[in-house]
Amino acid sequence: MSLFPMFLKMEGRNCLVIGAGTIGEPKIRSLLVAGANVRVVAPEARTSVQGWAHAGVITWEQRTFQPEDLEDVFLVIAATSLPEVNEAVFQEAQRREILCNAVDDPERCDFFYGALVRRGRLQVAISTAGQSPALAQRLRREIQAHIRPEYAGWLERLGTVRRKLMAGPLTPERRKRLLHKLASERAFEARRIRTSTAAPTTNGVRS
C-alpha cells in the first residue's frame, strides 16, 4: 500500500489520546504543538500530562477507555501498553470512520508518525510505512546535520519577502525565478555569513 504524504492542519480539531504514560506523553505533546484540542483518557498519567491538565491545556479523564469516548473526535491515538485496549480503540475508530494510530502496531494504523526534523516552521518528515523506524531515525539524524538551526530564521525571512513579491507588480515568471534564487543554497550561505560577521561584540571583541 502506498501512503499519501501530507501536512495536516490540526488547529482547533478535537483529538483523543488513550494513554498518558511514556508512550502517550510525546503523542499528546505533538498534538499540542500543532494546536489541537486534546482530550486524554487514562487511569494514570505522567507528571507532565497532569501538569497540562491542571493548567487547562488538555482535558484528562482519569478512567479507562469507553467506546463513547470517540464521539465528536477527528483523530484518536491508542497509546497504552495493553494490546487489547489498543485493539478496542482501533476497532471502534474503524466503525466510526475516525483516523486512528495504535502506537507501534502498523496493522492498526490509518497514519504513521514520521521521523521529524524541525527548524522553526520548516519540517521534514520521513516515513518507512512502519517497516523500519530505526532507518527513519538514522535518516533523520543525517538530514538534521545538514539542515542547520539557522534555517528557521531564514525561512521566516523568505516568507516575508515572498508576501511582498506576491503583492508587487512582477510577472509570475520573473517572480518565480527570483524566489528560487532567494531560496538557493548560495543565498542561504551568503546570509549566514553576513549574520555571523554581524554578531554583537563585547568590549570590542566579536563573539
pLDDT of residue 207: 39
pLDDT of residue 82: 95
pLDDT of residue 197: 76
Map grid coordinates 519577502 to a residue. 161
Q: Yes or no: say if 48 and 109 are a contact pair by the CB < 8 Å rule.
A: no
| pLDDT at residue 205 tops 50 | no
The secondary structure of 105-151, three-state, reads: CHHHECCCCCEEEEECCEEEEECCCCCCHHHHHHHHHHHHHHCCCCH
| pLDDT at residue 192 tops 90 | no
| pLDDT at residue 175 tops 90 | yes
pLDDT one-digit tens code per residue, 51-107: 999 999 999 999 999 999 999 999 999 999 999 999 999 999 999 999 999 998 989
Q: Which residues of 106-144 are buried (b: 16+ CB within 10 A; e: fewer)?
A: eebbeebbbbebebeeeebbbebeeeebeebeebbeeeb
Q: What span, in angstroms and rounded, lies between the C-alpha atoms of 38 and 67? A: 17
pLDDT of residue 136: 92
| pLDDT at residue 198 tops 80 | no
Higher pLDDT, 112 or 44: 44
DSSP alpha helix (H) spans, the chain: 24-33, 47-54, 83-96, 133-146, 151-166, 172-182, 185-197
| pLDDT at residue 199 tops 80 | no
pLDDT of residue 75: 97
pLDDT of residue 1: 66
pLDDT one-digit tens code per residue, 116-165: 999 999 999 998 888 888 999 999 999 999 999 999 999 999 999 999 99
pLDDT of residue 133: 87
Residues facing 152 on adjacent strands = none
pLDDT of residue 130: 80
